[in-house]
């Protein structure tokens, strides 16, 4: 199946991300491209990171097709979703220079960051985005699992 794009900018961004990931010494050995969506994943150390190229449809500029590149990593699965965890995540978000914690539909703790795609997408910013996500996920998975229960995402990957 072929990937469909919402705009030429999204497609251009996808191609730039693909070129970067497939030629980067950091990711080229483990990068996998999704065949249906403009998305990749890569194992970096013990952390799996998903990189999506998304259209940016609601933005402040009237006449612009824009795309964003979002890197996301699952930090923990099955942690107790309670006020203490939410307070911890929000407090830690304030400390972050890049990215933020959030929950997905299955209440998994995720960490993600985005950069602007397109013609002027800076590859250093893309690399920083991806590396920030994997570094934070790898650092915080032990902390969150120990304090709030659940499993590190890497532990779940090892079992499956």
pLDDT by position in tens, the chain (length 160): 689 999 999 999 999 999 999 999 999 999 999 999 999 999 888 788 999 999 987 666 666 688 999 999 999 999 999 999 999 999 999 999 889 999 999 999 999 999 999 888 999 999 999 999 999 999 999 999 999 999 987 776 666 5
Domains of the chain, residue spans: 8-158
Residue written as token pair 């612009």: 64
CB atoms within 10 A of CB 115: 21
Q: pTM for the whole thing? A: 0.90
Look up residue 97 and give its two tokens.
């220079």
Instruction: For 8-158, give the CATH class.
Output: alpha beta
| Residue 155 falls in which region: left (phi positive, over 0), alpha (psi -120 to 50) or beta | alpha
> What are the C-alpha distances in Å from 130 to residues 6, 7, 40, 127, 144?
23, 23, 12, 5, 21
């Amino acid at each position: 199946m072929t990937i469909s794009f919402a705009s030429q900018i999204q497609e251009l961004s996808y191609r730039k991300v693909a070129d970067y990931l497939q030629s980067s010494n950091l990711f080229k050995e483990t990068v996998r491209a999704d065949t249906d969506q403009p998305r990749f994943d890569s194992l970096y150390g013990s952390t799996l990171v998903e990189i999506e190229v998304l259209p940016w449809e609601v933005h402040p500029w009237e006449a612009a097709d824009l795309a964003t590149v979002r890197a996301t990593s699952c930090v923990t699965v099955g942690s107790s979703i309670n006020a203490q965890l939410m307070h911890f995540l929000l407090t830690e978000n304030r400390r972050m220079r890049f990215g933020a914690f959030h929950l997905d539909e299955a209440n998994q703790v995720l960490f993600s960051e985005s950069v602007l795609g397109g013609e002027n997408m800076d590859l250093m910013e893309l690399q920083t985005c991806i590396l920030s996500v994997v570094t934070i996920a790898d650092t915080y998975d032990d902390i969150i699992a120990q304090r709030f229960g659940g499993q590190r995402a890497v532990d779940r990957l090892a079992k499956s």
